[in-house]
Amino acid sequence: MKLLITGAAGFIGSHFVDYVLDHHPEDTVIGLDKLTYAGNLDNLAGRLQDCRFRFFRADICDREAVFPLLERESVDCIVNFAAESHVDRSLQDPGVFLRTNVLGVGVLLDGTAQFGVSRFHQVSTDEVYGDLPLDRPELKFDEGSPLCPSSPYSASKAAADLLALSYFRSFGTPVTITRSSNNYGPRQYPEKLIPRMIRRARAGRPLPVYGDGRNVRDWIHVLDHCAAVDLVIRKGRVGEVYNVGGGNERSNLDLIRLLLSLMGKDEALISFIADRKGHDRRYAVSTEKISTQLGWRPAVKFNSGIRETIRWYLRQPVSELDPANLS
C-alpha cells in the first residue's frame, strides 16, 4: 500500500509514519506537512533516509500543491492527521482552525474522489461529542451520540467529520473516521498538558491548573492510537466511525499530582488559575465497536506509558525548553 500521511511531522502523525513502516515492510509512505509551529522534521529524523519514505512540505488547503502530488503519486490511502489542535489557540483565533480543519479536509476529499484514492481516513477527536457530567461515571459516548462541540477547535473537527460523511453518502467517497481520546507520549508539542507540566516541573516553575482541576480526560498512548488507525484503514468499513480510547480516566489535578510524584517534585508547584472558557468537564468514549468488530484493544498500560513519557522529556536538553512554553 502507498499511503499519504498528512501532518506527518507532528506528534501523532510522525508516530504513525514509524508505525506503518515498522509493521508493514511492503508499504511506502509519503509524508506531507506544512511545518507550522507544532510540526518538526526532527520527529522524522529516523525516516528521512528510508527509501520507503519521502517528505513534502505543503499545506493541505493548497489545491495547487496537493492535487499534482496525488496525480503523480497514485496513492492508495490518505490518512489525515493535519490539524490545528490546541483548544486555547482556537479561542484566540478560530479562523485558522476553520481553514485547516474544515477547508483543508475538503481539499483532501476532493482529491480522493478526483484521483481514485481507495481510502480517505479522517483522524478526529472525542471532543466533538461535547462533555459528560462528573457525577455519572457510567456514561460514555458511543459513535451514535450527538455531536455537541464546545470550542472552535472541536466544532471545526465535528464539521470535518460531517463533511467527510457527506462525501461518503453523496459521492460514495471511501471514508473512515476515528475519534480518539487524549493522546500522550514522546514528541508532543509542549503546549499540551502532559509535556507542559513535565517541563515546568523540571524547571521548578508553577504548574497552572484551570478552575478546580476536576476536569476528567481519558488518556491513550500514542502508539495505541496508531495501532487503531492502522487497523481501521485496512479492515474498517467505509462510511463508519470508530471511537478509540485508552480507558484511563483521570482528573487533570490527579494527573498533575501523579507527574509531580513520579518526578520527585512538591505539590506546592500547583497553581490554580481562572478556568478556560467553555471548559468541558469530562470526556469518555465507548470502544466496544472497534473492539468487537476489529479486535482492537489498547496495549500500553498507563503507569508504564507515563513513566516512559516522563523519561523521554527529561532526556531532552534543557536548552530545548522553550521559554514561551514555560510562561
So which residues are the catalytic ones? Answer: 126-127, 153
Residue 220 bridge partners (DSSP): 183
Strand order in the sheet with 249-251: 182-184, 216-221, 249-251
DSSP 174-196: -EEEEEE-EEESTT--TTSHHHH
Among the listed residues 38, 27, 36, the one whose alpha carbon sits nearest the alpha carbon of residue 3:
27
Q: Could you tell me the three cell numbers for 36?
A: 507550522
Q: Cβ neighbours of residue 222 under 8 Å, at least 6 residues apart?
A: 11, 12, 15, 183, 184, 185, 186, 187, 188
Among the listed residues 195, 197, 224, 208, the one whose alpha carbon sits nearest the alpha carbon of residue 316:
195
Q: Cβ neighbours of residue 242 under 8 Å, at least 6 residues apart?
A: 143, 176, 177, 178, 179, 228, 232, 236, 289, 290, 294
Return the DSSP state at 282.
Answer: B
Hey, is 101 helix, strand or coil?
Answer: helix
Q: What is the largest CA-CA distance in the chain?
A: 57
Do residues 209 and 215 make contact, with C-beta atoms less than 8 angstroms apart?
A: no
- Spatial separation of the C-alpha atoms in residues 57 and 59, rounded to whole Å: 7
Q: Could you tell me the three cell numbers for 59?
A: 499545506
